[in-house]
Amino acid sequence: DQQVKQNSPSLSVQEGRISILNCDYTNSMFDYFLWYKKYPAEGPTFLISISSIKDKNEDGRFTVFLNKSAKHLSLHIVPSQPGDSAVYFCAASYSGAGSYQLTFGKGTKLSVIP
Amino acid sequence: SQTIHQWPATLVQPVGSPLSLECTVEGTSNPNLYWYRQAAGRGLQLLFYSVGIGQISSEVPQNLSASRPQDRQFILSSKKLLLSDSGFYLCAWSGGFSTDTQYFGPGTRLTVL
């Protein structure tokens, strides 16, 4: 049972436009969400996170939106740059005692076309 | 600042051979440590995590084991590798709270032939 789903395996966007990456989750206990960016043959790099007490978090060109009722979050990248081309993973966790697991989606490969 | 190291970067091993992957963290004390695997075309799967020296929790039954002999050292091992052990192995660290961000190492690409 996949608790974190990224239904789009790939996305192509023109440079300068907005990239929107989507993520859905099924476990209502999740209360902390993260986005990671991964280049081939490298470890994931943390991008941005959001707690369930917020519905938006912004960091430079990156904004994460959380819709708890829909169990949906999205990452917006504005403007998109060629260097943003990578695989983006959505991850979720919950603050229950003894819970340390991040549950990852399968990733979305973003290609930003110059 | 904190840094995390993994080695080797790549490894090709025959089926049935042993495995030892090492991960070390610098610049922090008593981190939580994690081993993940990314198989081809799949997301990241948590294999083991550790909240302290000698404390290992396994998330999935498998052919692998983990050990934490020192505070900032995490080792992934196998006595006999299987073909299905091939993948990209990632070590990560975080602070002591369950919602602390996890930071990943550069990874080890393991190919079992």
Contact A43 B98 (CB under 8 A): no
Unique residue bearing structure tokens 């989507």: A22
Contacts of B101 in chain A (CB under 8 A): 34, 46, 49
For each successive 10 residues of chain B (113 residues), what is the average pLDDT? 91 96 94 90 86 88 89 96 93 81 93 95
> What is the C-alpha separation between A69 and A60, in angstroms, rounded?
26
Give the pLDDT of residue B61. Answer: 66
Give the pLDDT of residue A41. Answer: 83
* Residue A29 contacts residue A94 (beta carbons within 8 Å): yes
* Residue A92 contacts residue A30 (beta carbons within 8 Å): yes
Task: Considering only the beta carbons, identify the residue of B43, B98, B103 that sits closest to A107.
Answer: B43
In this prediction, residue A99 has a pLDDT band, given cuts at 50, 70 and 90, of low
Give the pLDDT of residue A97. Answer: 56
Averaged pLDDT for residues A17-38: 95
Residue B54: phi and psi, rounded to 5, are 75, 0
Non-local (6+) Cβ contacts of A83 within 8 A are: A112
Task: Considering only the beta carbons, identify the residue of A41, A44, A107 that sits closest to B109.
Answer: A41
Unique residue bearing structure tokens 């990943």: B104
Give the pLDDT of residue B42. Answer: 75
* d(CA A104, nearest CA chain B) in Å: 6
> What is the C-alpha separation between B85 and A69, in angstroms, rounded?
39
Contacts of A3 in chain B (CB under 8 A): none
> What is the C-alpha separation between A17 and A23, in angstroms, rounded?
20
Span between the terminal Cα atoms of chain A, in Å: 38
Unique residue bearing structure tokens 């080890």: B108
* d(CA B18, nearest CA chain A) in Å: 23
> What separation in angstroms does the CA of B59 have from each of A31, A65, A105, B6?
20, 30, 17, 21
Centre a 10 Å sphere on the Cβ of residue A107 and count the other Cβ atoms it contains.
25
> What is the C-alpha separation between A63 and A89, in angstroms, rounded?
15
Question: Token pair of A7, please?
Answer: 């239904």
Measuring CA to CA, which residue among A33, A48, A44, A36 is closest to residue B89? A44
Evaluate if residue A12 carries a pLDDT over 70. Answer: yes
* Residue B39 contacts residue B54 (beta carbons within 8 Å): no
Contacts of A100 in chain B (CB under 8 A): 32, 34, 49, 51, 57, 94, 98
Contacts of B46 in chain A (CB under 8 A): 101-102
Higher-pLDDT residue of B30 and A21 is: A21
